[in-house]
């Protein structure tokens, strides 16, 4: 490991690897530090179509064909005894960019390793099992303390990018992280075999099922494996006891259509339960540091936005780092303003849907869509990752919000209960964190 570098990137997941690739390709000295070792298991296996633009920019789009399962769309299923299901295709979205009419389902262990190796191919000095234990910003240049190869080493860097994921190293160090007061959930998940896929091209769809306490995902992966999980109310998940696998199957039984698909399922991984992971950082950047991806914020995996947000924020943040390294003050100010505006806008649009996804009115609109004024297409655009830059989508989403408000009047008692439960869950997680 060198003693000095231009950019130190903490975390070798999608955000960190994307940042390292882009900056190293520009000719900057980049050190990429990953505390674990690839390949490693990670949840969040469903990519979004707008990921394809970034992967094409990195020169990796063609490699996905041999790595994942083609994802043309998504389907949503109610928990009523009589199946009510609606399917969307990403190529039906509003203003589909070239190559963004589909996505891929990937094993994150393989996908993340591909991105990490690519950063090294681009010229980044990449280190695994390199844990950053401290960052000192008091001197002229930030200095990192890194535990690697059984020894503690010092690394000076002109700029630090925190892509440490849920570890959120700098956000926690500066006391910036705060729990989401609007949203609180928990999850349990695993990998299974002998789970049938949808027929035809829809076999690559991600499937979403509602149930009383949350929603269920099924993501088809290569080699006949299905990623299956449930995002639940925290109070419900606390009743799981020691038999986590039995609890997951009991949860799946709350939606008869999900239970039917899982009746011959065999687990091929441990079943994992995790607490609330919804948080924000009050500040995303400082003079010589930047937060990207989950190191800055994470809300909910319902729309598979995690990897896309990680890579998008890294690509956007790379302009900040370039300007800072060049000493171009005006360009740095512009890049920082653009980063704040676009990241906040995208997260704001996504959160509006996420917070209301379990609500009866949102279920009704998803299962009974209308394309009047292009509303259905605009919602598909959001699900595809068109969250930041398209004014045509944003205008239609304002109208969709009005329709949602009017539809909520039809389900007023259930809507009030759903909102109270959401806020109660958030408070519960805040109390537990305290």
Q: Which of 295, 323, 347 is the last residue of a domain?
A: 347
* Mean pLDDT to the nearest integer, 184-197: 92
The boundaries of the domain holding residue 261 are 186-274
One domain for residues 112 and 162:
yes
Q: Is 88 among the domain residues?
A: no
State how many domains the chain has.
3
Q: What is the DSSP letter of 96?
A: P
CATH code of residue 243: 3.30.9.100
One domain for residues 153 and 190:
no
Query: Which residue, chain included where needed, has tokens 């009115």?
Result: 361
Q: Is 412 among the domain residues?
A: yes
Q: What are phi and psi of 211, to 5 degrees?
A: -150, 175
Convert the pLDDT of each residue in 326-349 to its tens digit: 999 999 999 999 999 998 888 888
Distances (CA, A) of 21 to 5, 24, 318: 15, 5, 10
H/E stretch holding 25: helix 14-25
One domain for residues 261 and 342:
no
One domain for residues 162 and 295:
yes
One domain for residues 13 and 32:
yes
Distance in Å from the first CA to the final CA of the chain: 38
Convert the pLDDT of each residue in 228-273 to its tens digit: 999 988 888 877 777 899 999 999 999 999 999 999 999 999 999 8
| Sign of the dihedral through C-alpha 79, 82, 84, 85 | positive
Distances (CA, A) of 214 to 88, 346, 358, 362, 364: 21, 23, 6, 13, 15
One domain for residues 100 and 62:
yes
One domain for residues 377 and 417:
yes
One domain for residues 23 and 110:
yes
Q: Is 90 among the domain residues?
A: no
Confidence at residue 426, expressed as pLDDT on a 0 to 100 scale: 60
One domain for residues 227 and 265:
yes
* Mean pLDDT to the nearest integer, 295-314: 87
Distances (CA, A) of 348 to 5, 183, 339, 352, 411: 35, 13, 14, 6, 24
One domain for residues 241 and 297:
no
For the whole model, what pTM was predicted? Answer: 0.92
Task: Check: CB of residue 279 under 8 Å from CB of residue 179.
Answer: yes
Q: Is 283 among the domain residues?
A: yes
């Amino acid at each position: 490991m060198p003693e000095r570098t231009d950019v130190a990137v903490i975390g070798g997941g999608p955000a960190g690897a994307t940042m390292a690739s882009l900056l190293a390709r520009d000719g900057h000295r980049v050190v990429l530090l990953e505390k674990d070792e690839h390949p490693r298991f990670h949840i969040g296996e469903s990519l979004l179509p707008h990921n394809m633009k970034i992967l094409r920019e990195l020169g990796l789009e063609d490699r996905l064909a041999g790595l994942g399962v083609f994802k043309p769309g998504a389907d949503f299923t109610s928990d009523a005894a009589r199946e009510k299901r609606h399917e969307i295709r990403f190529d039906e979205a509003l203003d589909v960019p070239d190559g963004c009419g589909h996505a891929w389902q990937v094993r994150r262990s393989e996908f993340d390793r591909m991105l990490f190796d690519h950063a090294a191919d681009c010229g980044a000095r990449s280190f695994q099992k390199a844990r950053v234990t401290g960052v000192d910003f008091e001197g002229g240049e930030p200095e990192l303390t890194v535990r690697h190869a059984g020894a503690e080493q010092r690394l000076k860097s002109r700029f630090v990018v925190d892509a440490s994921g849920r570890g959120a190293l700098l956000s926690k160090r500066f006391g910036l992280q705060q729990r989401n007061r609007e949203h609180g959930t928990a999850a349990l998940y695993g990998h299974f075999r002998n789970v049938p896929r949808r027929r035809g091209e829809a076999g690559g769809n991600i499937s979403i099922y509602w149930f009383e306490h949350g929603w269920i995902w099924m993501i088809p992966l290569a080699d006949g494996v299905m990623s299956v999980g449930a995002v639940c109310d925290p109070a419900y998940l606390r009743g799981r006891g020691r038999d986590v696998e039995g609890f997951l199957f009991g949860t799946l039984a709350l939606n008869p259509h999900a239970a039917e698909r899982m009746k011959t399922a065999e687990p091929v991984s441990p079943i994992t339960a995790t607490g609330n992971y919804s948080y924000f950082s009050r500040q995303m950047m400082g003079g010589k540091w930047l937060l990207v991806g989950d190191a800055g914020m994470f809300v909910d995996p319902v729309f598979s936005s995690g990897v896309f947000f990680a890579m998008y924020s890294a690509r956007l943040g790379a302009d900040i780092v370039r300007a800072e390294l060049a000493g171009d003050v005006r360009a740095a100010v512009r890049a920082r303003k653009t980063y704040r505006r676009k990241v906040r806008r995208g997260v704001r649009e996504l959160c509006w849907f996420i917070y209301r996804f379990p609500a009866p009115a949102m279920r009704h609109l998803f299962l009974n869509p209308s394309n009047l004024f292009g509303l259905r297409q605009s919602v598909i655009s959001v699900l595809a990752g068109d969250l930041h830059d398209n004014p045509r989508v944003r205008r239609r989403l304002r109208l969709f919000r009005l329709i949602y408000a009017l539809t909520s009047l039809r389900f007023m008692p259930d809507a009030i209960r759903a909102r109270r439960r959401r806020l109660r869950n958030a408070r519960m997680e805040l109390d537990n964190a305290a």
